[in-house]
Amino acid sequence: MITGELKSQIDQIWNTFWTGGITNTITIVEQLTYLIFIKDLDETEIRNELKAKRGFKYTPIFSEDQQQFRWKNLKEMDVNARHMIFSNTVDGIFPFIRTLGQEKSLFSTYMRGATFGISKPMVLDQVMEKLENINMSNQDTKGDIYEYLLSKLEGGGTAGQFRTPRHIIKLMVELMKPTLEDTACDPSAGSAGFLVAVKEYIDKHYSVTDLDKDSNHINKEMFNGMEFDATMLRIASMNLYLHGVEEPNIIDVDAVSKDNTVHDAYTLILANPPFKGTIDKESIAPGLKNVTNTTKTELLFLALMLRMLKKGGRCAVIVPDGVLFGSGKAHKSIREEIIANNKLEAVISMPSGVFKPYAGVSTAIMIFTKTGTGGTDNVWFYDMKADGKSLDDKRNLLVPEEVFDAFAFGEGADELSEEQQKALHDKFNLPDIIARFAERNGVAERSRSRTDQSFLVPFSDIKENDWDLSINRYKEIVYEEIEYEAPDVIIKQIEELDKERTEALSTLKELLR
- Our measurement of the distance from residue 217's CA atom to the centroid of its chain's CA atoms, rounded to an integer in Å, reads 24
Which residue type sits at 151? S
Say whether both 421 and 498 belong to one domain.
no
- The tally of CA atoms less than 13 A away on the side-chain side of residue 27 is 12
Residue 129 lies in a domain: yes
Say whether both 486 and 423 belong to one domain.
no
Residue 387 lies in a domain: no
| Mean pLDDT, the chain, whole residue set | 87
Say whether both 74 and 150 belong to one domain.
yes
**Residue 42 maps to which CATH number?**
1.20.1260
Confidence (pLDDT) at 162: 61
What gap in Å lies between CA 24 and CA 28, rounded to an integer?
Answer: 6
- Is the pLDDT at 2 greater than 70, yes or no? no
Quickly state the pLDDT bin for 509 (edges 50, 70, 90): confident
- Is the pLDDT at 42 greater than 50, yes or no? yes
Q: Between 490 and 57, whose confidence is greater?
A: 490
Say whether both 419 and 509 belong to one domain.
no
Say whether both 4 and 95 belong to one domain.
yes
Range of weakest confidence among 14-28, 285-299, 322-336, 420-434? 285-299
Residue 346 lies in a domain: no
- Is the pLDDT at 156 greater than 50, yes or no? no
Say whether both 2 and 88 belong to one domain.
yes
Q: For 265-286, write each residue's pLDDT tens digit.
A: 999 999 999 876 667 777 787 7
Say whether both 136 and 34 belong to one domain.
yes
Residue 364 lies in a domain: no
- Is the pLDDT at 160 greater than 60, yes or no? no
Helix axes 193-205, 230-242, angle to 10 degrees: 10
Q: Which domain holds residue 492?
A: 481-513
Residue 30 lies in a domain: yes
Which residue type sits at 344? L
* 314-339: average pLDDT: 95
Residue 58 lies in a domain: yes
Say whether both 21 and 120 belong to one domain.
yes
Kind and range of the H or E run holding 421: helix 418-427
What gap in Å lies between CA 356 and CA 417, rounded to an integer?
Answer: 33
Residue 145 lies in a domain: yes
Say whether both 145 and 39 belong to one domain.
yes
Say whether both 492 and 416 belong to one domain.
no
Range of weakest confidence among 120-134, 376-390, 392-406, 448-462? 392-406
Confidence (pLDDT) at 102: 61
How many domains are contained in the chain?
3
* Chosen domain end from 120, 154, 188: 154
Confidence (pLDDT) at 411: 57
Q: For 194-250, write each residue's pLDDT tens digit.
A: 999 999 899 999 998 999 899 999 999 999 999 988 778 888 887 887 787 888 899
pTM, two decimal places = 0.79
Q: For 85-114, write each residue's pLDDT tens digit.
A: 999 999 999 888 888 766 556 676 777 777
Say whether both 416 and 512 belong to one domain.
no
Confidence (pLDDT) at 190: 86
* Chosen domain end from 106, 122, 154: 154
* Chosen domain end from 154, 171, 203: 154
- Burial of 407: CB neighbours in 10 Å, binned 0-12, 13-18, 19+: middle
Range of weakest confidence among 100-109, 127-136, 189-198, 289-298? 100-109
Say whether both 405 and 512 belong to one domain.
no
Residue 416 lies in a domain: yes
Confidence (pLDDT) at 287: 80
